[in-house]
Amino acid sequence: MSHAAPIYLNLSEKLTALIRSGTFRPGDKLPSIRQASRENRVSVTTVLESYHLLEGQGLIESRPRSGYYVRPPSYPSVPLTRAATYRGKPVRIETSAIFETVMDLVENRDVIPFAAAAPDDSIISLSKLPSLAAAVFRKYGAEASRYTPPMGRRELRLALSRRLLVCGVKVMPDEIVTTHGATEALLLALRATTKAGDLVAVESPTYFGILNLVRDLGLRAIEIPVCQKTGLCIESLRKALGKFQIAACVIQPNFQNPVGCVMPPDNKKYLANLSAIHHFTIIEDDVYGDLGHSGERSSSISLYGGDVIHCGSISKTIAPGLRVGWVIPGQHLKQIKYLKTIQCPWNATLSELIIAELLDQGGYERHLRRIRKIYATQCAKMRDEVIRHFPQSCKVTQPAGGFVLWVEMPQGFDSEAYTVEAILRGISVVPGTIFSPTLQFKNCFRLSCGAAFVPSSFDALKSLGQLASYHLVP
């Protein structure tokens, strides 16, 4: 006499089929226990048994206070991307001819946006910013649309002085200067600490916006390799300091763009000590610091002393179009206040008050918890698709925070030619050459995971993988 299979087995087989077919993709959340119970007309206990079976089979995973998610498939371990070669030679920064083409695509809505390292429109609720703006106008009236002096709104500086305690930055409101995003903060820091012809240490690879500032100020650069595990190579920097007079070191210690690495506390402390010994300024770009996928906030280098100028913004966490950033000048406060007064004396009053309101309401931390999960999931999904569709010889980073991936192909791969063909297919990527003063990393490119994943995103990654195979040198 035959017996029907237990109901929980039937449900688990149904869910397995949905996962295998791609209806539920890696990182997707399964229906809650109660929702699955209602939809399948079975008991909560049956759903739990089914989910526990799938968890035991490695198909799904439980996340505390969040629910059940589809686990990424198991692949052979992917080798770490290699650190850049330390060349130990000051250089003038070269500019790739493809740079403007890549930048022009940032706001092109007709391409799949894997180039722009910017949050998706859905990162903050469409109703949240208008409601905050309305609250600001009710509170401040016409004052919200007037000029704001160079130091920025005191309300924002007060809120930032409280917020920055989480990363070890202890600062009074009058020791903060607000800016039009982090780029202006970095520009002020460089202008305050260098003069034309000075030598600046930069990470390699590093965010191309930093390289543009260094070049346009008439500065020379020395490339310091970045390791995927520990960030900037302290030993290489130490060697450079032994040979050259370095005026400043521009560094992203937390979830570096494009590698996604984090500098360990001991390395941060050692870097701060080097700054004091060799008399150079550390310019810390911490725009990704709040975006650790684990939820843990990595510390600022300024926690460990040294001559540190801390720069930040809300462009990666809330909305880049608000153009709100800040700089903590430390011992360079007087010079940066002067430069801010002559460079861009008036700030974005409404934007600053909106961010101050958000920080004061306590909603920012809740917002961060939500978007950290989103970015972690999107990075995992994109990495899985790269491993699935790209040649086995490719290497891809596994960032602990932020939302960018660095892909390394074998030597001979031309990422600029690859980028051009990708654009012709309606997909934007960023070639590795523009992340280096000497146009290194021709065999690498960056992918942004900031945009929401939709079916066309998966199709685009499959297309990129096929295109990468065509570009491999035999």
Per-residue pLDDT, averaged over 187-215, amounts to 96
Give which of 228, 250, 249, 224 is closest to 237, Cα–Cα.
224
Q: In the chain, which residues fall in CATH 1.10.10.10?
A: 7-70
pLDDT digits (tens, 9 = 90+) for 117-146: 988 887 776 668 889 999 999 999 999 999
CATH topology of domain 99-121+366-470: Aspartate Aminotransferase, domain 1 (3.90.1150)
Q: In the chain, which residues fall in CATH 3.90.1150.10?
A: 99-121+366-470
d(CA 325, CA 342): 18
Cβ–Cβ < 8 Å for 251, 272:
no
Least confident span in 318-322, 334-338, 353-357: 318-322
Per-residue confidence (pLDDT) for residue 335, from 0 to 100: 97
Whether the predicted pLDDT of 2 surpasses 50:
no
Per-residue confidence (pLDDT) for residue 445, from 0 to 100: 96
Least confident span in 114-123, 146-155, 392-401: 114-123
Whether the predicted pLDDT of 322 surpasses 70:
yes
Least confident span in 30-34, 149-153, 177-181: 30-34
Q: In the chain, which residues fall in CATH 3.40.640.10?
A: 126-364
CATH tag for 126-364 (out of 3.40.718.10, 3.40.640.10, 3.40.50.2300, 2.60.40.730): 3.40.640.10
Token pair in block for residue 400: 């602990």
Q: Which amino acid is at 344?
A: C
Q: For all residues of the chain together, what is the average pLDDT?
A: 90
11 pLDDT band (50/70/90 cuts)?
Answer: confident
391 pLDDT band (50/70/90 cuts)?
Answer: very high
Per-residue confidence (pLDDT) for residue 84, from 0 to 100: 62
Per-residue confidence (pLDDT) for residue 79, from 0 to 100: 57
Cβ–Cβ < 8 Å for 258, 446:
yes
1 pLDDT band (50/70/90 cuts)?
Answer: very low
**Model's pTM, two decimal places?**
0.85
Token pair in block for residue 152: 């920025």
86 pLDDT band (50/70/90 cuts)?
Answer: low
Percent of the chain whose pLDDT exceeds 70: 94
d(CA 439, CA 428): 19
CATH code for the part of the protein at 7-70: 1.10.10.10
């179009």: which residue's tokens? 321
Per-residue pLDDT, averaged over 29-41, amounts to 88
Per-residue confidence (pLDDT) for residue 329, from 0 to 100: 97
